[in-house]
Structure 1
Amino acid sequence: MVAIGHAVIPTERLNHIRLVTGAWMLCVLLLAACVKPLEFPPLGDPLPVSAKLDMAPPIKDLTIRYSDSCGQLQEIPLGDRLQEAVREGLRRTFNTTVDDSAGDTAIPDYVIHVDLVDSSFDLNKEALYDRAPAVLHLNAIARIHDRKGALLRQTDIKIDRQERLRLEQLSKNCNYLIDPFIRDTVIDFATRVSLNARQAVTGQETASSTELSPIPVGSVGASSASPSQALRFKAMLLDENSNLILEGGEHVRVRVDIINAGTRVIESASASLTGTPIVIEQFPATTLPIPPLQPGQTKSIEFIATLPPTKQAQQAAIHVTVAESGGAQAPSQTLSLAIQPAGTGQDDVNQIPAPAPGFHQPQTYLVSIGVGAYRDPKLTLRRFAATDAETVAAYFQSLGGVPPSNVRLLHNQKALRADIHEALYGWLPQHAAKDAVVIVYFSGQAMVTPSGDILLTLYDGNAGDSTRLYPLTDLESAFARLKTKQIIFLFDGMVSRRL
């Protein structure tokens, strides 16, 4: 897979187009309904005041870099992920959030400033085990000011997250499954910032009721939190191969993220597991101590076990309880699971799932193109390209809620230049209105000219004649004519430099 975006479609000329490459399954994830939301622990009822986030440039621009197992440099825009998570945390903490980037000029009741002190990321690829230990360190300062500029609270936000990263199950096994690790880190960071903002607002005493929206008596706040309200947690069940199918003999982890939402230090607490005996008996320990928690601090612990072998599917449940030694206990959580016989977890992506009930995207349009056969015998066949285009179209209709009338499928002999031209210049402009989302998927291969131009290979393409190929600049021209809300181009295939 080769990223082909910026060299072909300059963002300054066509900034409403998002160009994405990768495995075709990414297309399903790009739909809003299929994107996994950030799962925050309980943050309390939103406070009836407004707030604005001010992230300093060093943290907004933060990027972590590492070399994968094949020696290729990888970059992750951690600053963007942190800013997105903190904004979401503040939206859950305050009734109203002010966003300068959206042209919002309202004066907020509170401003949350976040500055970076230092950061580091280490990935030990020389580990003797099948997973590489990763350590991500973040040290920041959160300052909460009222609308007069008075400093209400200043807190160090320190994150030290460690985890063993598994290689992706792809043909080259180069990169690591790092996204869940990053997601948990940014949620942890955002949770601490949001809880500190809540404590600053509910605990400050100098605010004038004529200038700030009043906070009703009985609203959730740090100063009035009972012991059971102060101790909060989120439990997650993680399987070894991350396919969400639990099989007999597979290693699983029960991860518990605990948060101190109160104002006092929680010195002694523990997390415990109960539930279906055949599962609970596999855990070496069913109770683990929780390190001391400062106000607003988060800690994570994990229970690890191997699921028992089974010859038929079994239902089970794990009940997670977190309690202080003095008796205060957070509401328990239950993790339901189904254990399948080993070997039944192989994904069959060609098995189209049942349609998502009640979910419709009448303003989404898809042009799915798959070219794997060619007139020119010198071109390498792409055996499954046409099938991939059909499968992508089926997934968008079943899980994405796209009506069949909004899908145009073109493959092999039916994906000539004239066919693509008609779909992009004729069919789409006639149907896609200004609120529409247009998705163009291409499965096949492309070639690169010495000048860097990228050309898609169609059924009647020729490896030695660039005039018989389809330039991505033609796609740019077609996209520029569309007056839609968003355009997404997905490329799934290989790129060669034979021209």
Structure 2
Amino acid sequence: MTSVTPSNTTANKRWRAPLALVAGLTGLILVGCASRLEFPPMGEPLPLTAKLEIPASIKTLSADYTDSCGHLMQIPIGSRLEEALVEGAFRTFKKVVYEGGGTKDATPDLLVRVDLVNWSFSIDKEYLYDRAPAKLQLHAMARVYNDKGELLRETEIKTARQERVRLEPVQKNCDYIIDPFIQDSVVDFASKVAMDARLASGAQTAPIAARAATPPTAKTLVPVTPGPAASPSAPTPASSTSSSLRFKAMVLDENSNLILEGGERVRVRVDVVNTGATAIQNASASLTGTQSVVGQFPSATLSIPPIQPGETKSLEFVATLPPTVQSQKAELHVAVTEGGGAAAPSQTLALTIQPTGIQSDDVDQIPAPVAHFRRPHTYLLSIGIGSYRDTQLLPRKYASLDAEMVANYFQSLGGVPASNVRLLQDWKALRPDIDEALLDWLPPRMNKDAVVIVYFAGQAIVTPTGEVLLVPYEGSPSSTTRLYPLKDLESALARLKAKQTILLFDGMVSRLHSDPKAKSVAPRWETGGATVRVIGGEGYAKGIEDDKHRHGLFTYYLLRGLRGDADTNRDGEVTLGELAAYVSQKVSWASKTHFNSDQHPHVWPVLKSGDKSSSLVLTKLAAITGSETP
């Protein structure tokens, strides 16, 4: 086990320096924080000004650990914690003052300070090969002072988060995908600090000495009700049985087409938020309704972990639907109840289960469009060439269909308008057609938010120097002037000055001239530029075609990934990083297991968690959402 834990003497003294919420961050960084960190609903910012301070010792807080290959790694926990606390402060107060920045000429109403008492971090890399348990604990005292320096509130803040982190599949299987775990931990910590400051803000005019004692974990002057928090469902009028818990329920089916089939695996996801001012213990979520469906779930009741004010918890009921020979209507009623009996308004999920017989992994079922998810600045050029004018070139049985399916998926799940898609198939994919799309169709449509995706299914030929030449319909190995150099494609994409460009390639890669005595030079897909390339296989490969599913093997898993299988963190979205990792793992595994061959997708540049390219959302999953039960 790799572990970092401060001692009770010197280390504790080191970390007991006051921690405030921000120092010297520019406005641009604050905007970036807002786009990356996902906080629970916290209500409207209060009309107050908070002064924040932070010592250098907190900014440099870091933890060392050893990755699965024995390399010493370091995590800058301090900078992540600072970033989250900053975001929490700006979500809590209208104005923030701090050294070197903040709201100019503002007089502080409050001073918020946090003393970090203790912390620890560990990864048990020997527990499981690619799912190592990680644990981060943060223990602090939060104090809020009024403008006279009088203590208003003192609260013990604790965060203990444990999660299995998996190996980064797009590198050398050494390091762990740990950024999301760290981010969730520091956001949880910062949310508690921000909520505590919100509670204290209602008492900023009275000193702590003038108030009666309160429980040791939270000393405060007078009760205060926080501002209203957003909730995923309509609020219920206050009553003796009402709950401050609110939730959103939805059904996610295995193939994301919103058509439930007998034998299909489904998930009922429940996102619960605490909109009250106190923590809630012993709450639970339960399912009732059509017994033939409810009975398929291993448990119809799930416990909700303790949930702090403003905090959100997510849980899932998972089951396989019963086989049926005819269409069946069903209802699921979702209820969230506190231990004392108070309940949030229940929600109903209306389901229609189709007869058994449609395979759940049939990617040729076009997923249902996702409502209210639009990407007007995303453009797709989808090229599929299965047959060639030169009959000496081997055909690609499924390339044309693959290009069409990729176009359908990005329109359905990716929110890409049909007018933003150009589909070129077989004899309509001549070199002039590709040029027209890249040089005439795309440029007038570009802006600073544009995302351009090029999918190419077919063949590529590599020169003795390693240069990659894509093969259009009229292309021939005997005449390189009829081929389409990858560098020309890259140059055209670079001139677009889009926010992000992506190349997806599935197909055969062969040498221009087969000379067994010639020295083999690997294909040079890395030609520079900012384009992210996800290539179906490394080196020279035939590009496996999957006759069972009637797709190129790479494209089959590309489609499965886009429709939800790549959503590893189950947030309902598939990012470029998730998709690249998924196809890399699945294609490598399937080629060896089912085809006794080796095909390993190649991703360049390496996508790391937290990168802008890696976090780019490609598709959003369709879901059946619940409505409040009358």
TM bucket normalised to smaller? 0.5 to 0.7
**What secondary structure, in the 3-state scheme, does the structure 2 residue paired with 1:322 have?**
strand
Alignment of 1:61-140 (within 5 A): 94=92, 117-118=120-121, 120=123, 135=133, 137-139=135-137
Structure 1 446/66 Cα, relative in aligned 2: closer, same or farther at 3 Å?
farther
Alignment of 1:12-411 (within 5 A): 43-48=41-46, 94=92, 117-118=120-121, 120=123, 135=133, 137-139=135-137, 155-161=157-163, 190=187, 193-204=190-201, 219-220=227-228, 230-233=244-247, 235=249, 237=251, 245-250=259-264, 252=266, 254=268, 256=270, 264=278, 266-283=280-297, 285-290=299-304, 303=317, 305-346=319-360, 349-350=363-364, 365-375=379-389, 379-394=393-408, 406-411=420-425
- Take 2:180 and 2:458, find their aligned partners in 1: how far apart are those partners? 32
Q: CA deviation at 1:475?
A: 2.0
Q: Indicate the residue corresponding to 1:470 in structure 2.
A: 484
Q: Which amino acid aligns with 1:491?
A: L
Structure 1 346/478 Cα, relative in aligned 2: closer, same or farther at 3 Å?
same
1:441 aligns with one of 455, 460, 465: 455
Q: Which amino acid aligns with 1:371?
A: I
- Take 1:405 and 1:421, find their aligned partners in 2: how far apart are those partners? 18
Q: Indicate the residue corresponding to 1:20 in structure 2.
A: none
> Is the deviation greater in 297-306 or in 382-391?
297-306
1:488 maps onto 2:501 in alignment: yes
Higher relative contact order (CA 8 A, sep 6+): 1
Q: CA deviation at 1:332?
A: 2.7
Structure 1 190/467 Cα, relative in aligned 2: closer, same or farther at 3 Å?
farther
- Take 1:257 and 1:203, find their aligned partners in 2: how far apart are those partners? 28
Q: Which amino acid aligns with 1:429?
A: P
Contact 2:324 2:355 in 1 (8 A): yes
- Take 1:133 and 1:268, find their aligned partners in 2: how far apart are those partners? 29
Contact 2:144 2:197 in 1 (8 A): no
What per-residue deviation string (whole Å, max 9, x for no partner) do you get for residues 134-179 of structure 1? 745444578979899999767333222469x9xxxxxxxxx9xx99
Contact 1:143 1:154 in 2 (8 A): yes
What per-residue deviation string (whole Å, max 9, x for no partner) do you get for residues 364-410 of structure 1? 54433222333555644322222333444455566667666654433
**What secondary structure, in the 3-state scheme, does the structure 1 residue paired with 2:331 have?**
strand
Structure 1 262/66 Cα, relative in aligned 2: closer, same or farther at 3 Å?
farther
Q: CA deviation at 1:461?
A: 3.7
- Take 1:111 and 1:301, find their aligned partners in 2: how far apart are those partners? 33
Q: Indicate the residue corresponding to 1:11 in structure 2.
A: none
Q: Which amino acid aligns with 1:200?
A: A
Structure 1: unaligned runs, 5 residues or longer: 1-36, 68-76, 99-103, 127-131, 166-174, 210-215
What per-residue deviation string (whole Å, max 9, x for no partner) do you get for residues 300-341 of structure 1? 665555533322222322223232332232333333333333
Q: CA deviation at 1:493?
A: 0.3
Q: Indicate the residue corresponding to 2:18 in structure 1.
A: none
Contact 2:389 2:473 in 1 (8 A): yes
Q: CA deviation at 1:444?
A: 2.3
TM-score, with length taken from structure 2:
0.49
Structure 1 204/432 Cα, relative in aligned 2: closer, same or farther at 3 Å?
closer
Q: Indicate the residue corresponding to 1:101 in structure 2.
A: none
Q: Which amino acid aligns with 1:120?
A: I
Contact 1:42 1:232 in 2 (8 A): no
Q: Which amino acid aligns with 2:157?
A: T
C-alpha RMSD of the superposition: 5.9
Structure 1 41/232 Cα, relative in aligned 2: closer, same or farther at 3 Å?
farther
Contact 2:378 2:450 in 1 (8 A): yes
Q: Indicate the residue corresponding to 1:12 in structure 2.
A: none
Structure 1 187/236 Cα, relative in aligned 2: closer, same or farther at 3 Å?
farther
Q: Indicate the residue corresponding to 2:429 in structure 1.
A: 415
Q: Indicate the residue corresponding to 2:573 in structure 1.
A: none
Structure 1 343/381 Cα, relative in aligned 2: closer, same or farther at 3 Å?
same
- Take 1:308 and 1:337, find their aligned partners in 2: how far apart are those partners? 13
Q: CA deviation at 1:275?
A: 1.9
TM-score, with length taken from structure 1:
0.59
Contact 1:268 1:325 in 2 (8 A): yes
Contact 2:257 2:365 in 1 (8 A): no
- Take 1:353 and 1:472, find their aligned partners in 2: how far apart are those partners? 32
**What secondary structure, in the 3-state scheme, does the structure 2 residue paired with 1:488 have?**
strand
Q: Which amino acid aligns with 2:509?
A: S
Structure 1 145/339 Cα, relative in aligned 2: closer, same or farther at 3 Å?
farther
Structure 2: unaligned runs, 5 residues or longer: 1-34, 70-74, 167-172, 207-223, 230-237, 512-520, 522-630
Contact 2:37 2:84 in 1 (8 A): no
- Take 1:185 and 1:336, find their aligned partners in 2: how far apart are those partners? 37
Structure 1 490/105 Cα, relative in aligned 2: closer, same or farther at 3 Å?
farther
Q: How many residues align?
A: 420
Contact 1:449 1:497 in 2 (8 A): no
Contact 2:257 2:366 in 1 (8 A): no
> Is the deviation greater in 383-392 or in 144-153?
144-153
- Take 1:456 and 1:145, find their aligned partners in 2: how far apart are those partners? 63
**What secondary structure, in the 3-state scheme, does the structure 2 residue paired with 1:388 have?**
helix
